[in-house]
Amino acid sequence: MADFVDQRSIIRTIWNNSDLVLLIFAGSAAEFALNRSVDWLFYTKQIPNDPVGRFYSTVEYAKEIVFADETRAQQTMARICAIHHSVESSRGERIPDWAYRDVLYMLIDYSERAHELFYRPLTMAEKQDLYDGFLRIGKGLEIPELPPNYLEWKVDRQLHLLRDLAGSKYTEMLYESYRRQLGEWRFQLLLQLQALLAPARVRELLGLEPSLLLKAAIRLYGLCSIPELRSIIRWLLLPDRSVNSSG
């Protein structure tokens, strides 16, 4: 059975690295809090009540698609669609198509940004490869009106950032949830990471100021190959849990 995502794809390289996965979701946590459809998170209460736990379950879903064969990946995506439809039925309204695109776009953008922060910028061929893989995932999740290529997606991504983000009471509530579950000093570390990862629009709305010193430290850490040091850094971000990855 063929793999859903080619084993040589940059998606597998990125999502097989637990440090990069942490950065992807650190950045997404900022943008989630600003999304105009963030009220859906409060309807299910999963992320507000347990953001770290939800992070792990989302990673598992992603890995079940990215590292699966065609059949298993399609089954996982069908299961995710069924969950979404159940929530929509319970609330009596549909999640907007643009909100589904926003979430997919976050995973694409922060995958690219995490790799650049940690190692180097992706080449144009890698960017297109990254987008092609997520385009297949988006179609499998029944997300409509996705751009056909990376360059057109880049334009649409900017439009979504300008149109779909705004601070709200939910923004404050989500950040309080992050603070409560992470503790104060880990919460402050999260903010610093978000300042390095987030697009300018997100930083502006949240008042985040990136630290060049932290950026240099993360790049140095990305070049480090000492397993003991890498496990310590992961502990700093998410104590008592581990991302199931060989990265």
Q: What is the pLDDT of residue 243?
A: 40
Q: Among 145-154, 163-172, 197-206, 217-226, which stretch is predicted with the lowest mean pLDDT? A: 217-226
How confident is the model at residue 171, as a pLDDT? 94
The residue among 113, 148, 143 whose CA lies nearest residue 131 is 148
Among 39, 140, 27, 154, which residue's Cα sits nearest to residue 82? 140
Give pLDDT tens digits for 5-63.
999 999 999 999 888 998 999 999 999 999 998 887 777 666 777 887 777 788 888 88
CA 80 from centre of chain: 16
pTM equals 0.90
Collapsed DSSP state (helix, strand, coil) of residue 156 = helix
Give the residue, 215 or 147, on which the prediction is more confident. Answer: 147
Confidence band, pLDDT 50/70/90 cuts, at residue 246:
very low
Q: What is the sign of the dihedral through the CA atoms of 79, 83, 89 and 95?
A: negative
**136 backbone φψ class: left, alpha, beta (φ>0; ψ -120 to 50):** alpha
In 3D space, the residue among 234, 235, 240, 236 whose CA is nearest the CA of residue 21 turns out to be: 234
How many Cα atoms sit within 13 Å of 94 on the Cβ side?
Answer: 6
- Judge whether residue 118 has pLDDT over 70: yes
234 phi/psi in degrees, rounded to 5: -65, -35
Average pLDDT over residues 174-199: 93
For the chain, domain boundaries: 10-237
pLDDT band per the 50, 70, 90 thresholds, residue 121:
very high
Which residues lie across from 35 on neighbouring strands? 165
* Cβ–Cβ under 8 Å, residues 15 and 66: yes
- The tokens describing 175, both together, are 């950040």
